[in-house]
Amino acid sequence: MMVRLGAAFSAAMFVVCSSLAMSATQPEKQNGWNAVASGPTIVGVASTYNPYRHDQQSGGPETASGESYDPNAWTAAIQVDLRKQFGGVHYGKDYRPAYALVVTSDKQAIVKINDVGPLEPGRVIDLNEQTMRYFDPSLKRRLIYRVEVTPLLGDDWAPGPVASG
């Protein structure tokens, strides 16, 4: 009886330890989806843009995807040099959606990459107005230093904030 109980206890401990080890190596669940990176995390500065605001110098009302700029969507433009890391974000009819997990020290969001551009040096991503308001509610900073941008695999992401924990 003691041998069976000991064997059952050992088997249970093995299952628990295996589960804990596996959960530590599993991708984190984001927005109800498993966040699986398609490339290395890029660290740099995030800025904001809105081509409809009179004080903006860059961009235009149409994004590389052919979509009109939507200040209320969860979208962003990446630096032209980062195209390959996002699966080759192309223009017009060759465009296919790419997604990224954007992380600061206290917030994270999934954004749809629908534009590319020659951003200012050091900047890796231009967030649209909605996305920037999430990270900087007053829009006074206009720049987010040390932002982490991780390209995500697949095209079925739900853009928006990601709950922590």
Q: Mean pLDDT for the chain?
A: 74
**pLDDT at residue number 44:** 94
Higher pLDDT, 141 or 70: 70
More confident call, 104 vs 163: 104
More confident residue, 4 or 91: 91
- Exposure string of 15-34, with b = 16+ CB inside 10 Å and e = fewer, is eeeeeeeeeeeeeeebbebe
State whether the Cα torsion 56-62-63-69 is positive or negative. Answer: positive
Mean pLDDT of the 70-94 span? 82
Determine the pLDDT at residue 20.
Answer: 32
The predicted pLDDT at position 158 comes to: 94
The pLDDT value given to residue 13: 39
Distances (CA, A) of 37 to 79, 98, 123, 152, 165: 18, 12, 20, 4, 19
Amino acid 6: pLDDT:
43
Provide the pLDDT for residue 15: 33
Q: How far apart are CA 10 and CA 18, in angstroms?
A: 12
Instruction: List pLDDT tens digits, range 120-143.
Output: 888 999 999 899 999 999 888 789
Query: pLDDT at residue 95 above 60?
Result: yes
What is the predicted pLDDT for the residue at 150?
95
pLDDT digits (tens, 9 = 90+) for 15-61: 333 333 333 333 344 444 445 556 789 999 999 887 776 555 555 67
pLDDT band at 79 (very low <50, low <70, confident <90, very high): confident
Q: Which is higher by pLDDT, 3 or 25?
A: 3
